Amino acid sequence: MTLLGIFRRTRGYVDAVSPTKSKPVGLEIGGREVSISSPDKVVFPEPGITKLELVQYYLAVADGALRGVAGRPMVLKRFVKGIEQEAFFQKRAPEKRPDWIETATLHYASGNSAEEVVVEDAAALAWVVNLGCIDLNPHPVRADDLDHPDELRVDLDPMPGVDWRQIVDVAMIARDVLTDHGLTGWPKTSGSRGMHIYARIDRRWDYREVRLAAETLAREVERRAPGLATARWWKEERGESVFVDFNQNAKDRTVASAYSVRPLPDARVSTPLDWDEVATRRPEEFTVRTVLERFAERGDAASGIDDSVGSLDQLLSLAEELGPAEKPPRKSDGSGRRPSTMPLIEVARAKTKPEALEGLERWKAKHPKVVEKLEPADVLVDGMRGSSSLWYRIRVNLQHVPEKERPEQEELEVDYDPWAGRN
């Protein structure tokens, strides 16, 4: 059955005019009119998924997708030039928008504020996808209380060289830590290499306390699974482990929500799982087309998440028992920068990931004997958040290279200045 056929079978959110090559398509969604521009534009060339089909996917799984985003302010991550090009991040809601699109104004520690889009229904969901939002990136708060998150987010981020079995082991331990401390974890694939676990919480704690609870959970997972999991914030110190990324609970962070389509060639989806599926299913199984079938057959695996609200009291008590996490020393030159404990060299800074990786290959060609001694986790590829988009930095950790054989820091293979032209 085609994607459109599955959509029509699963639910009747929309009546669509037959698309023409260049004309917009008008959709009637819950009594609202949404126009889809360039409906035949191919968003995912490999499976041949068009922009209209992507909208139809989100409408077909709207019950699950809205469970993750409804009522939450959202950063618009817009892929206006396709998945091969970097997205740009738009915090502020477009000035030109339907009068039924809700917004909320967030205030940040920097003193800046942003009036962000709040998706409330299927029509708003289709509207943001039409803007080029392939995945959905909501904040962990509701628009009616922007200071108190209602979910704890556990992001399991594997380092290079880590296989899926290790991620599963860490996920199971994270579930146990949550359960032991009065919380219910709901797992989903990240849609990339890792896994997310969400736990609904009472809205009694501010961001600082929620992040502390998340950091404490990460430390406890590391304590129970030494060598498998790490709570170390600095990438070069993690080795081949799964990083329990507690900082995703900081105020300015967003995470791709349930049923988000990720910008990967196979149109992979961040998919909620039952716990008994975690050990047996793989992220690559869940794509736009397979998730449509799964959702039509069984509905949302996380349908009970809003009925399992828990407390952070026990994790915050554990935080007091553990004491402050070890903080790295700062440079004594007054810069406030952290000196690395590892022998790092920087290879490239680039506007795009392919450019950065090309620079890495040139560096490798110059140092073949060094490359032989590197472990997968020794090559550190960092996506750095700029003002509206990502830029990329590549560093190499020489910890496995004998000191006498370590190359010195050289001129960068790619030397992009992300701050050029800014005061």
Q: Kind of pairing, strands 25-29 and 32-36?
A: antiparallel
Same domain for 114 and 35, yes or no, is: yes
Distance between CA atoms of residues 117 and 380, nearest Å:
34
Same domain for 179 and 317, yes or no, is: yes
Write down how long the chain is: 423
What does 87-154 look like in DSSP terms, one character per residue? Answer: -EEE-SPPSS--TT-EEEEEE-TTS-EEEEEE--SHHHHHHHHHTTBSS-EE-SSBTTBTTS-SEEEE
CB 314 within 8 Å of CB 213: no
CB 37 within 8 Å of CB 24: yes
What is each CA distance from 349 to 55, 213, 343, 353, in whole angstroms?
Answer: 35, 34, 18, 9
Same domain for 317 and 168, yes or no, is: yes
Same domain for 155 and 132, yes or no, is: no
Q: What is the pLDDT along the chain (423 residues), one digit of tens a residue?
A: 445 454 444 444 444 444 445 589 999 999 999 999 999 999 999 999 999 999 999 999 999 999 999 999 999 999 988 888 888 889 999 999 999 999 999 998 778 899 999 999 999 999 999 999 999 999 999 999 999 999 999 999 999 889 999 999 999 999 999 999 999 999 999 998 899 999 999 999 999 999 999 999 999 999 999 889 999 888 888 888 999 999 999 998 999 999 999 999 999 999 999 999 999 999 999 999 999 999 999 999 999 999 999 999 999 999 999 998 866 555 555 544 566 778 888 899 888 888 899 999 999 999 999 999 999 888 988 887 665 667 888 989 998 999 999 999 899 999 988 767 654
Same domain for 217 and 159, yes or no, is: yes
Same domain for 19 and 123, yes or no, is: yes
If one counts every other C-beta atom within 10 angstroms of the C-beta of residue 317, the result is: 12
Within a domain: 267:
no
Looking up residue 232, the CATH number of its domain turns out to be: 3.30.70.3300
Same domain for 161 and 228, yes or no, is: yes
Same domain for 174 and 318, yes or no, is: yes
Same domain for 43 and 181, yes or no, is: no
Same domain for 9 and 107, yes or no, is: yes
User: What is the span of the domain harbouring residue 410?
Assistant: 344-415
Within a domain: 146:
no
Number of domains comprising the chain: 3
Strand (E) positions, 205-314? Answer: 229-230, 242-244
Structure tokens given for 73: 């302010």
Same domain for 32 and 112, yes or no, is: yes
